[in-house]
Structure 1
Amino acid sequence: MSNAPLYIQIKDYISTKIDSGAWGVGEKITTEMDLSSQFNVSRMTVNKAIRDLVNEGKLVRKPRAGTFVCAPSDKLESPLLDTANIANEVEQRGNQYHSEVLKLSSLVADNDVATRLGVMIGSSVFYCEIIHFEQGSPIQIELRWVNPTHVPNYLDQDFSKITPHQYLSENCPLSAIEHTVEAIVPDKQIQQLLSLSSNEPCLLLDRRTWSQDKLISSALLYHPGSRYKLSSKVTFN
């Protein structure tokens, strides 16, 4: 038996039904009353689980009709061939954005970090971990390494009020980006931070950015795979 709070257990149950295809797109899910009876909990507990899934884009409520599984087109979306300020993305969708800074510090570059930033092993680099939220639900985990030679005041910023993307764009205008995207099974820490069910994949965007000929930062951006997509548009003349 899981030790997770009851509403999380119900949320995981519904997510598993959706992710497995047992409840298909557009299908009406079990009623709150039936779920309350099934899990022997109050409707308030069930309502919280469903409300979270609505905020995450997995479910949609229809007045006097019930709650239904969202179509893939209802997923949140970010551009793939560009770098966008996630705070602006959320606000452009008419939703509320906020962030939580988990770490902001300097560290000594190991082999992996040195390779990412093009610095010597043992060099001092800046590092941050930030959770980005939309309507109170986590939509992105940002792990970012920054070369302090090019951005010496990075650690002095309040990244609960300004995103790293905005700060870096204003101080080191973007000239080139390099990125890869892959679907992964996240570790337990990422699952918890993104409120993912145990079998839910996530999209990992690995990005490096340059200003002129200087490699400024390297970031790992984790997104919930079931409620997020990355898109691109290429125009040929």
Structure 2
Amino acid sequence: MPRTALPRHAVLIFSGGLDSAVTAYRLRDGGVTLSLLSFDYGQRHVKELAHAAHLADQLSVSHDVVDLTSLGRILGGSALTDPAIAVPHGHYRTETMSSTVVPNRNAIMLEVAAGAAVAAGADAVAFGAHSGDHAVYPDCRPEFFTLIEASMKAGNDGHMDADFQLVAPFLNLTKADIVREGARLGVPFELTWSCYEGGDVHCGACGTCVERREAFDGAGVADPTVYAMTPKGTVQ
């Protein structure tokens, strides 16, 4: 399970979304040196990478984008990588959001990040998984956390920092908890991107937009996001 001791230097999987942004601000608040790592895997919402870059500038930390577009082409069957599959709309439910699973995505990204951490002399890899992801995404669950951390250590035995750890501070918390923490830390929520549709503004209808709305509402924090659709499905 996640440890509470903060690392010295963490390579953070950074999408530019709410979860990874608040993770970055929380680690920085704890004095952790950050290296942000984003991935272009052919996702339809690739515009999230521009948001990630902007947030990295705000944080004044290093930011690299890994090109996995060639790999993304073989990770078919997901609404995030296949334009023929519609992005699910409505409430964030297992039966609908399962079409957004990209096979082995987090394992691939985390192992790349582990290599980057070894090369940089960092003592941690971090990611922003939370409890709301557990039902839909198997690579966001505590058991996955334990096994992937063991894999990183076994695969880099003798070359990795002796105190290396995988950090997921929100693994057992809700997205509303993340929003509350982000508000405390002064995270510029308006710079984050969640929508899977990848339009000019958040669509307001897809599962991730609905989840985002509900998180702000549940946290009692004002939502600065511009949505194309209201909760009742009308154009704003």
Shorter-chain TM range is under 0.3
Give the greater-gyration-radius structure (CA): 1
TM-score under structure 1 length normalisation: 0.23
TM-score under structure 2 length normalisation: 0.23
Structure of higher RCO (CA pairs closer than 8 Å, 6+ residues apart): 2
